[in-house]
Homo-oligomer: A and B are copies of this chain.
Amino acid sequence: MNIVLLDSRQTQSDIWKISSDRQIAHLNSHLAVKVGDTLKVGIRDGDRYLTEIIAVSEREVLLRPIQKEAVPAKLPVTLIVALPRPKVLRRIIMDAVTMGVQHIRLIHSYRVDKSYWQTPFLQQLEHYMTLGLEQAGDTIAPKIELHKRFKPFVEDVLPQLIDEHCPAYVAHPYTEQKMPFAIEHACTVIIGPEGGFIPYEIDLLIKNGCQAVSLGNRILRTETAIPYVLGRLFSTC
């Protein structure tokens, strides 16, 4: 947690109050904050501030804003991921948010177990985003959308995301063309499920405007591939 995220309702008066059990526990046990310390605080979907702690108890921490700070810029990327196992879902949402992905779309695919769409973890996306924003020092949550049917998504939604200024790259081990690097434009990145997209799916993605590109001859797990690809694509950011 590199900033504490507050709701705008918590920051309406001159004195702000942190009262979430999770945040208080972190501030008290992990950071051992005390009166007079400074603390970075973000207002959810708003500004970020340096604040001064003016009171600490086991139940709440009171703050006084000192000065506004810059919120880090987002990466100009839409990340499309085949819905992973529930445990992995938490991590990829947190990580994608931390790295500054602008828009996340979770899609179905042949090798996605249908039961994954029933996981209670999908009700927790808001919480994972908060953790990712607090890690990054960001305040603006990306948009997350779910697409439970592969073909309608690829044929009807995906083409609207692609144009000459915003190509779509699907990571695919069995192709000659390499994933680009150090790009200076927006793009869409598509990461398949464990075991990969099936040939029909790759063909449909290509037919609808995607470029199949390889990351080399090592097969990475979804949760490793995402930061590896974003680090590669946006190395000039």
Contact = CB atoms under 8 A, between A and B. Distances in A.
Contacts of A70: 217
Contacts of A138: 218
Nearest to A237: B216
Contacts of A182: 181-182, 235
B218 A137 contact: yes
B181 A217 contact: no
Interface stretch (A54-62, A92-100, A148-156): A92-100
Interface residues of A, number: 31
A228 interface: yes
A102 to B, nearest CB: 13
B99 A219 contact: no
A91 to B, nearest CB: 8
Q: Is the interface of A mostly helix, strand, loop or mixed?
A: loop
Contact of A231 (B136, B137, B232): B232
A15 interface: no
A99 B218 contact: yes
Interface string A221-237: 10011111111100111
Contact of A135 (B2, B72, B219, B232): B219
A204 B149 CA distance: 54
A167 to B, nearest CB: 17
A220 interface: yes
A230 B237 CA distance: 15
Contact of A100 (B218, B226, B237): B218
